[in-house]
Amino acid sequence: MTLRLYDSAAREVRDFVPLRPGTASVYLCGATVQGVPHIGHVRSGIAFDVLRRWLTYRGLDVLFVRNVTDIDDKILNKAAEAGRPWWEWAATHEREFARAYDALGVLPPSAEPRATGFITQMVQYMERLIERGHAYAADGNVYFDVRSLPDYGSLSGHRLEDVHQGESAGTGKRDPRDFTLWKATKPGEPSWPTPWGDGRPGWHLECSAMATSLLGAEFDIHCGGMDLIFPHHENEIAQSHGAGDGFARYWLHNGWVTMSGEKMSKSLGNVVAIPAMLERARAVELRYYLGSAHYRSMLEYSDGALAEAAAGYRRIESFVRRVAERVGDVEVGEVNDDFAAALDDDLAVPAALAAVHNAVREGNTALESGDGGRARQIAAQVRAMTSVLGTDPLDPHWAAEGVDDDAHAALDVLVKAELERRAQARAAKDWTTADEVRDRLAAAGVEVTDTPDGAQWALKSKEH
């Protein structure tokens, strides 16, 4: 294993060495199911789906846990505003997230625990923390004493005197910098019994309980958005180490999706919801776009950037399909060395995509020169590389988005007849007829590209 990953805790790129040989254990902070998912929400799912696929390709058995936060202040507030039961609101939007992940080809996790299903484990966790002197109960609440842990702030770099937890008010805190493990019950809110009184879990506690219950006291990788570094992940580390667990050995954080330079969020109102986005572009093209930047970088959304990415993906798709049509079935092969080196270098997807497009150019040259065997070999490489990126053009997952192979072949015959008519018109300098053919094809959703090897066609993505 030559994979190297940037560890946010160590602030450096480290060799990835699994805790248990042959197995990689990964925990991803999943959705707080308060509303319809937007492209900022699903970026982490796509980014770390690539990590999972690459670990699997490298021969590891990957245990991948992605949680669902189904009890939270935001969920309760939004459900109350809508006049709906909190559990129904959470379940409704959990399904919306599941549909979004599936539409974008994100593999289902090995386990997808809900916070409300791990209350017993949370109570046990608090008991351990109180026994070890890191937590205390007050007025039915339970708080973590941040001063009890000398290395508090090690992940985020926050100094203790500058800490602001930013959480809803509770009573009985010894220090305003302490964070809430358990919230005492309030009228009209859901609650569960504990030795310290009825209440509900704090946000941070649930992830430590779920991660260690499913992956063990120590596991390989903890993932999430960079906005979670503080306070969420800092507090996960504090309570887990305070309870005596080794917890995550590597911390990976993905960058935001931004619009006009600002982080995409519901509070800013610059939300691009997944259902609306899937009316603008095919799901595979949206996935390609959202996964095209390095996972640690910011991704600035614009319609133009999405259109450019979609066009880039269609070049890959067109090559693989043309080889399959002209030469025969294309199996999934092995990735090439440039692609492997890129992903082993902290999942450098932009460099990996450069390797894909270089292969496509070489494959197109081989195909047009009549070297079908070489073209087919390269197409098998391209399928392998795009499979790791979750965008294999021939993956059955994407079949429903376009036309099936028989229909595509029939369409190819018809379009090529039109392109031949256009070529003849151009040769005769009959520009009116040539333009009419091209406009008619465009109106039918067929994009024509003139190349040195002649006109090529592809189905256009859905327009805005």
The predicted-structure confidence for 406-417, as pLDDT tens digits, reads as follows: 555 567 678 888
pLDDT in tens, 427-443: 899 989 988 888 888 88
From CA 114, how far away is CA 86, in angstroms rounded?
14
Q: What is the pLDDT of residue 420?
A: 85
Structure tokens that stand for 52 in this block: 């999972």
Structure tokens that stand for 141 in this block: 């609440």
Q: What is the DSSP letter of 111?
A: B
pLDDT in tens, 263-276: 777 665 556 899 98
Q: What is the pLDDT of residue 383?
A: 98
**Region 394-416: what's the mean pLDDT?**
71
Outline where DSSP puts E strands in 67-214.
Answer: 135-138, 141-144, 179-184, 199-201
pLDDT in tens, 122-160: 999 999 999 999 999 999 999 999 999 999 999 999 999
Of 182-186, 203-207, 364-368, 443-447, the range with the lowest mean pLDDT is 443-447
Confidence bin at 168 (pLDDT 50/70/90): confident
Q: What is the pLDDT of residue 403?
A: 45
pLDDT in tens, 247-267: 999 999 999 998 877 777 766
**Measured at the alpha carbon of residue 307, what is the angle toward residues 304 and 309, in degrees to the nearest 5?**
110
Q: Is the pLDDT of residue 114 over 70?
A: yes
From CA 422, how far away is CA 449, in angstroms rounded?
13
Task: Specify burial of residue 165 (Cβ count, 10 A radius: 0-12, 13-18, 19+).
Answer: buried
Output b/e per residue, 28-53; b: 16+ Cβ within 10 A: bbbbbbbbbbbbbbbbbbbbbbbbbb
pTM score > 0.95 for this model? no
CA distances from 19 to 48, 246, 320 (A): 19, 11, 38
From CA 119, how far away is CA 137, in angstroms rounded?
17
Mean pLDDT of the chain: 92
Of 273 and 451, the one with more pLDDT:
273
Of 262 and 34, the one with more pLDDT:
34
Percent of the chain predicted with pLDDT > 90: 79
Going from N- to C-terminal start, the domains of the chain cover 1-254
The class that CATH gives domain 1-254 is: alpha beta
Q: Does the bond joining 350 to the residue before it have cis omega, within 30 degrees of 0?
A: no
From CA 133, how far away is CA 457, in angstroms rounded?
68
Q: What is the pLDDT of residue 267?
A: 63
- Cα–Cα nearest to 43, from 278, 314, 253: 253
- CB of 194 closer than 8 Å to CB of 126: yes
**Region 175-196: what's the mean pLDDT?**
95
Place of tokens 């690539």: 50
pLDDT in tens, 55-95: 999 999 999 999 999 999 999 999 999 999 999 999 999 99
From CA 177, how far away is CA 164, in angstroms rounded?
6
- Cα–Cα nearest to 231, from 296, 184, 178, 303: 178
Q: Is the pLDDT of residue 388 over 60?
A: yes
- Cα–Cα nearest to 206, from 87, 19, 69, 303: 69
| Amino acid identity, position 253 | H
**Region 163-172: what's the mean pLDDT?**
86
Confidence bin at 451 (pLDDT 50/70/90): low
Q: What is the DSSP letter of 36?
A: -
Q: Please list, in sequence order, all residues whose beta carbon lies within 8 angstroms of the beta carbon of residue 45, skipping any fewer than 6 positions away.
A: 28, 30, 66, 101, 104, 106
- CB of 243 closer than 8 Å to CB of 128: yes
The phi-psi region of residue 208 (left if phi > 0; otherwise alpha if psi is between -120 and 50; otherwise beta) is alpha
Confidence bin at 464 (pLDDT 50/70/90): very low
Q: What is the pLDDT of residue 437?
A: 85
Of 455 and 116, the one with more pLDDT:
116
From CA 93, how far away is CA 41, in angstroms rounded?
12
